[in-house]
Amino acid sequence: MRRLPSLPSPVLPPTKGQEGSHGPRGLWITTKDEIPDPHKLRVRSWVNGAPAQDGRTGDMAHKIPAQGAWLSRFARLDPRDVIATGTCHEGRKGPIGGDILEAEIEGLGKARFLARGPRSPRPGAASRPQAPRAPGAAGAGTVSV
């Protein structure tokens, strides 16, 4: 996976494409022709089974064409490239090692990941109970934090 710069975020520091970051993928990739309007999809996430985010792709800080245009200033984008758009920024909290992360995009599927990294909260973060390790089921993976 190529490392590319991240768009400036109005609320979060850039993380995708940075050293030590991750690039989790599901068991499939959906192509453009399968999505009538990429800005009308519901995106939900859960941390340890508790709802964390519930938004729509149209609410993202940067629209998908703008992300592609911005990235193409730094690298040639090919048809096989994947742009990690992130999620809607409302309600996002960083994972803690041991957390079970789930993300679902309407009509595209749901993925489940185990966060690897420190098991203690970051300074100033609220303490959360640790979840058991994620089973190695289809669609499961790991995310480094």
Q: Is 94 helix (H, G, I), strand (E, B) or coil?
A: coil
Domain ranges (residues) in the chain: 32-144
Task: Please state, for a pLDDT cut of 70, what percent of the chain lies above it.
Answer: 60
Threshold 0.75, pTM exceeds: no
- Contact assessment for residue 43 and residue 105, using Cβ atoms and an 8 Å cutoff: yes
Burial string for 46-55 (b: 16+ CB within 10 Å, else e) reads bbbeeebbeb
Identify the top-confidence range among 9-13, 25-29, 40-44, 117-121.
40-44
The tokens describing 109, both together, are 């599927």
CA–CA distance, 48 with 134 (Å, rounded to integer): 10
Asked if residue 41 has pLDDT above 50, the reply is yes
Per-residue model confidence as pLDDT tens digits over 45-56:
999 999 998 999
CATH 3.90.850.10 fits domain 32-144: yes
Per-residue model confidence as pLDDT tens digits over 77-122:
888 888 877 777 666 667 788 999 898 988 888 889 888 877 766 5
Task: Please state, for a pLDDT cut of 90, what percent of the chain lies above it.
Answer: 16
The tokens describing 144, both together, are 């480094």
CA–CA distance, 35 with 33 (Å, rounded to integer): 6
